[in-house]
Amino acid sequence: MQRLTVIIGIAVAALTLAAAAVAGTVTATATLTGAGSLSLSHGATVAISDTLDGSDQSASYTLPLSVSDARGTGAGWNLTVTSTTLTTGSKSLATTASTVSAVTSTCLAGGSCTAATNAITYPVTVPAAATAPTAIKFFNAAANTGMGRFTVTPTVNVAIPGNTFSGTYTSTVTVAVVSGP
C-alpha cells in the first residue's frame, strides 16, 4: 500500500511539472475605433403660457436634448444657445428675458455613459436680438467625461414684466453641440 502512494505522488509531481512547462503568456490586443460622431437632436417646439395680471412674472419651459458622443476620444463637448428676441408684431420682451436656470443630465437607457462634468454656473442669460447674436455655452462636458448617450434638459425661465402687451410671442432658439469643453 505504501508503494502505491509513492507512485501516485510521483505521478502528481510529474503532471505538475508538465503543466508548468507548457504554461505561457498570450498578448490580447483589442483595437477600438470611434465609429460615431458628436451629435445633438431635440424636439421641434416648446410652448409657455402666462396670464398677465399687472405684476412681474416668470414662466419657464424645458428643452429636452439628446447628445451622443460616440467618438471615443474623451475630447469633451459643450452645448451652446442663442435666440432671436421674443416678439409679437412690433412688441418685444427684453433681449435678456430668457435665462437658463438649471440643467439636468442623465445617461440614456440601454447604454452606459461617463457622466458629464459640467463647470457652468447658473443662471446663464440666453443672448437675444432681432438677428440671433453669438451663441454662448450653457452646459459642458469636461475632457474625459460626457462619453456615451445622454438626455440633457435645460430649464429656461422667461421674465415677463407687469407692463407686457398681450399676444403670442415667438423666438427662434438655436442650440448646438460643439467639440471641446
**Upper half-sphere CA count for residue 99 (Cβ side, 13 Å):** 13
Residues 35-63 have a mean pLDDT of 88
> What type of residue sits at position 44?
A
Task: State mean pLDDT over 24-37.
Answer: 64
- pLDDT at residue number 157: 96
- Residues 6 or more apart from 96 whose CB is under 8 A from it? 125, 128, 159
User: What letter would DSSP give residue 44?
Assistant: S
What global pTM score does this model have? 0.79
Dmax (CA) for the chain in angstroms is 110
- pLDDT digit string (tens) for 123-153? 999 999 999 999 999 999 999 999 999 999 9
Q: Where are the domains of the chain?
A: 36-179
Q: Please tell me the least confidently modeled range out of 10-24, 111-125, 158-172.
A: 10-24
Show the cell assigned to 78. 459643450
Contact 122, 110 (CB under 8 A): no
